[in-house]
Structure 1
Amino acid sequence: MAVDTTSDRQNSAIPDIESLAHPTLDERGRQRFASALRRYAIQDMPEAVHDDFESRIRPAAEARGTVFDSARAIDAAMEKEPSYQLYSALRYNAQEMCFLSVQDEVERALPEMIAVARDAAERNPAGGSLRLDPDLEIPRYVTALDVHLTPGCFHSEWIEDDVAQGAVVSLGARVFSASMNFRSWGGVARVISRWIKHKRPDFRPLRILDLGTSSGKNLIPYADAFPEAEIHGVDVGAPLLRWGHAIAEHMDVPIHFSQQNAEQLDFPDQHFDLIVSSFFFHEIPVKATRNVLAECRRLLRPGGLMVHQELPASNLVDPWEDYFWNWDTEHNNEPFYTAFRAQDPIALCEGAGFDAGRSFAHILPDVNSYPDRHSEFDWDEPGRPRHGKGGWYVFGSSLPE
């Protein structure tokens, strides 16, 4: 059962806020260079570093008695090696450049962007909504550093009704992923919704919630996959939500955005049939993860489902892959990365009140890489793709009817 990745939605009267940023020729060249550099640093260079480890470093170290049975052992061996140091330096700088490369165009267009976002919030022609809480206490795990090396992080506001961080995060991520625009995103949602329709063909969610929704890029495909559902997205960053709301209203997708901390939400018990997230839990402390999963348990209706796309748990991957994922902990301002991945996802779900027997941790096939495959991969299946290379890691659970 394939998921239609196109949409026949017509744009509403709200202008396209994303198109208001006009990079100069020099800025566009810088952005393309940053995209190419990051793609090289994240895709090609790790293979070269791995080859160096396997062909040169591992044999010499094992001859001295070193046992490479963990990411920590590999890290100790690689830390001072030139191949690793060059890779790490390039990857760090490419990450910063992606977001820095869009700042000038955002600053020039900011007044017009704010006007469009205000218009969207006042008129809501698509039927969505934007609910902000100026008194919300932003968690310190967000305010203490610029997560992802994004200047200003997700939450910072410089002027009234600010959308600058929404623009920097969204347009910078477009450079980061070499995507053309917002509409080309949402791949995770398409993967998950396709899998849900395969596993539970009779599942008809009436309300869907996306945690840490950012600008809602992974919400719009759920609206296409489940057109009868009421769609909600929560995040602590008001600029992200203003930006995302303007895009959704422009695309004529009724999404209800609200500024809330996912550890304690104001929705009533058993309010949602489907709760999702993407790249969210590794950004928060493990204690907060437990609180969020407990909220998911409270908010899910009987028969409900939660599916969280994340980074694969350490116990599910080999030492080298574990080592590769942990780079972000020390170098990308994501200090909870390794601690989250060290958790057993089934145990996390069980600790939140879910049945371990109904919980799961899977690699789902990417829609583009495996257009005809709808079922998850077995962990010991020959040829199983890695997360981010043909597959997406998800964990979650469901409630009985």
Structure 2
Amino acid sequence: MASNAPLDRRNSVIPDIETLARPTLEERGRQRFCSALRRYAIQDMPEMLKRDFDARVKPQRAAKGEALDDALAIERAMKPEASYRFYSTLRYNAQEMCFLSVQDSIERALPEMIEVSREAAARNPAGGSLRLDPALEMPRYLTTLDVHLTPGCFHSEWVEDDVAQGAVVSLGARVFSATMSHRSWGGVARVISRWIKHERPDFRPLRILDLGTSSGKNLIPYVEAFPGVEAYGVDLAAPLLRWGHAVAEHEGIKVHFSQQNAEALDFPDGYFDLIVSSFFFHEIPVKATRKVLAECRRLLRPGGMMVHQELPATRLVDAWEDYFWNWDTDNNNEPFYTAFRAQDPIALMEAAGFDRTRNFAQILPDVNAYPDRHHAFGWDEPGRPRHGKGGWYVFGSSLPL
């Protein structure tokens, strides 16, 4: 006989927090529209803009004796053009709309989401952990702007044990990238782990650390790639960590999340075999980057590796691609974007104590675009893909045994 009594979740698995926001038909339609608009703005419109630059703007400027041979010169030339203004306006609004499109369904489900997060933290059925530090000082580079145009940024908390920003970032990013679940994320981790296995088939990391882990979407695939590894993810934002912990515990994946500033971590020296990150360093000032890399050197054991997926350095791309990447500096609330890309990652790692001869910066093949290719592309290799279009830019180093 069926019972109408509420489910006693204390005796059940952790519910799937990702499914609790239930958009209405109208909301789902809006999200799909935002996905399509954002994809058009980031993929199709830049090609149209480039054609307009090559066919019209560049010849006109050349006739006036102007040499558009660097990103700044191209920016000055394109800024007043109608084609750029339309592109930039559409791209900005598409970015913002992706996160706004999920807020209504999140607000309705927030009490239930918080309950699930609390349950995960109390029970830890997968064996993971969640360690928060309410006294941790948030750096100004996090609190000054809503990074990525995400309302409330990553760290804001509106109620006790809040997960709202974790939901906005996670579910908004699905709309942003037109993916349906965290299982379709983690592409960076799959690319890097495949490359590591190819380069070092005997490498068996015991502990892995993901810097700026957010909700762990690019950490969980490493646990699957290296069975038995102890996985640790650090981030400044408690709502993201609560969300990610609930996801991992529901999936039965053991991850240790902690709220820390990657500039000064509390792990002992030589604690990790593998240190990774994805889209992290361009979000922080260069002076913070130097501290984080010094921490990586301290925390890495002999024989260990670090691999950071990032945006390609300025010196490695042509003037137009450099101009394209730098759009986010002024328009997407990512003020350190250009300054980070202007650095030489090899030199940054050397300054942090890594051996220059063991440092690398290269393009790894995307798993979907090159399913049979496991080794990195050479910079001078004909047909080498661009970052984000068939390949992923990474930099890193390793320590000798």
Instruction: Please classify the TM superposition score into its range, dividing by the shorter chain length.
Output: over 0.9
Matched with 2:144 is 144
Task: For 2:200 and 2:68, locate their aligned partners in 1 and report how far apart those are by CA, in whole Å.
Answer: 41
Any idea what SS the aligned residue of 2:232 has?
Answer: strand
Any idea what SS the aligned residue of 1:107 has?
Answer: helix
Task: For 2:14 and 2:261, locate their aligned partners in 1 and report how far apart those are by CA, in whole Å.
Answer: 28
1:52-84 Cα offsets, whole Å, 9 max, x none, are 000111111112211122100110110101111
**Aligned partner letter, 1:254:** K
**Aligned partner letter, 1:81:** E
1:239-273 Cα offsets, whole Å, 9 max, x none, are 00000000000000000000000000000000000
Q: How does 1:187-206 map to 2 (within 5 A)?
A: 187-206=187-206
Any idea what SS the aligned residue of 2:361 has?
Answer: strand
Structure 1 residue 332 and structure 2 residue 332: aligned?
yes
1:71-121 Cα offsets, whole Å, 9 max, x none, are 001101101011110000000000000000000000000000000000000
Task: For 1:362 and 1:105, locate their aligned partners in 2 and report how far apart those are by CA, in whole Å.
Answer: 41
Task: For 2:47 and 2:104, locate their aligned partners in 1 and report how far apart those are by CA, in whole Å.
Answer: 34
Task: For 1:175 and 1:338, locate their aligned partners in 2 and report how far apart those are by CA, in whole Å.
Answer: 26
Q: Note the C-alpha offset of 1:168.
A: 0.3
Matched with 2:72 is 72
Which sits farther off after the overlay, 229-238 or 54-63? 54-63
Matched with 2:59 is 59
Any idea what SS the aligned residue of 2:375 has?
Answer: coil
Which sits farther off after the overlay, 162-171 or 67-76? 67-76
**Aligned partner letter, 1:279:** F
Q: Note the C-alpha offset of 1:20.
A: 0.4
1:176-225 Cα offsets, whole Å, 9 max, x none, are 00001111100000000000000011111000000000000001110011
Any idea what SS the aligned residue of 1:80 has?
Answer: coil
* Percent identity for Structure 1 against Structure 2: 79
Q: How does 1:333-348 map to 2 (within 5 A)?
A: 333-348=333-348
1:353-392 Cα offsets, whole Å, 9 max, x none, are 0011100001000000000000001111111111001000
Q: Note the C-alpha offset of 1:228.
A: 1.8
Structure 1 residue 214 and structure 2 residue 194: aligned?
no
Matched with 2:251 is 251
**Aligned partner letter, 1:366:** D
Matched with 1:364 is 364
Task: For 1:316 and 1:301, locate their aligned partners in 2 and report how far apart those are by CA, in whole Å.
Answer: 30
Task: For 2:196 and 2:63, locate their aligned partners in 1 and report how far apart those are by CA, in whole Å.
Answer: 49
Which sits farther off after the overlay, 67-76 or 237-246? 67-76
1:112-146 Cα offsets, whole Å, 9 max, x none, are 00000000000000000000000000111000010
Q: How does 1:227-246 map to 2 (within 5 A)?
A: 227-246=227-246
Task: For 1:237 and 1:55, locate their aligned partners in 2 and report how far apart those are by CA, in whole Å.
Answer: 46
Task: For 1:344 and 1:81, locate their aligned partners in 2 and report how far apart those are by CA, in whole Å.
Answer: 32
Q: How does 1:242-321 map to 2 (within 5 A)?
A: 242-321=242-321
Matched with 2:5 is none
Task: For 2:219 and 2:253, locate their aligned partners in 1 and report how far apart those are by CA, in whole Å.
Answer: 10
Q: How does 1:124-135 map to 2 (within 5 A)?
A: 124-135=124-135
Any idea what SS the aligned residue of 1:21 has?
Answer: coil
Matched with 1:223 is 223
Task: For 1:177 and 1:150, locate their aligned partners in 2 and report how far apart those are by CA, in whole Å.
Answer: 14
Any idea what SS the aligned residue of 2:253 has?
Answer: coil
Task: For 2:85 and 2:377, locate their aligned partners in 1 and report how far apart those are by CA, in whole Å.
Answer: 34
In structure 1, stretches of 5+ residues that fail to align are 1-11
Matched with 2:7 is none
Q: Could you tell me the TM-score, scaled by structure 1's length?
A: 0.97
Any idea what SS the aligned residue of 1:88 has?
Answer: helix
Structure 1 residue 91 and structure 2 residue 91: aligned?
yes
1:315-351 Cα offsets, whole Å, 9 max, x none, are 0000000000000000000000000000001001001
How many residues in Structure 1 have an aligned counterpart in Structure 2?
390
Runs of 4+ in 1 over 2 A off after TM superposition: none
Any idea what SS the aligned residue of 2:66 has?
Answer: coil
Task: For 2:65 and 2:338, locate their aligned partners in 1 and report how far apart those are by CA, in whole Å.
Answer: 26
Any idea what SS the aligned residue of 1:30 has?
Answer: helix
Any idea what SS the aligned residue of 2:391 has?
Answer: strand
Task: For 1:181 and 1:207, locate their aligned partners in 2 and report how far apart those are by CA, in whole Å.
Answer: 26
Any idea what SS the aligned residue of 1:304 has?
Answer: strand
**Aligned partner letter, 1:135:** A
Task: For 2:180 and 2:156, locate their aligned partners in 1 and report how far apart those are by CA, in whole Å.
Answer: 26
**Aligned partner letter, 1:100:** L
Any idea what SS the aligned residue of 1:205 has?
Answer: coil
Task: For 1:399 and 1:60, locate their aligned partners in 2 and report how far apart those are by CA, in whole Å.
Answer: 52
Any idea what SS the aligned residue of 1:270 has?
Answer: coil
Any idea what SS the aligned residue of 1:221 has?
Answer: helix
1:263-289 Cα offsets, whole Å, 9 max, x none, are 000000000000000000000000000
Matched with 1:28 is 28
Q: How does 1:94-173 map to 2 (within 5 A)?
A: 94-173=94-173
In structure 2, stretches of 5+ residues that fail to align are 1-11
Q: CA RMSD, aligned part only?
A: 0.6
Task: For 1:18 and 1:154, locate their aligned partners in 2 and report how far apart those are by CA, in whole Å.
Answer: 17
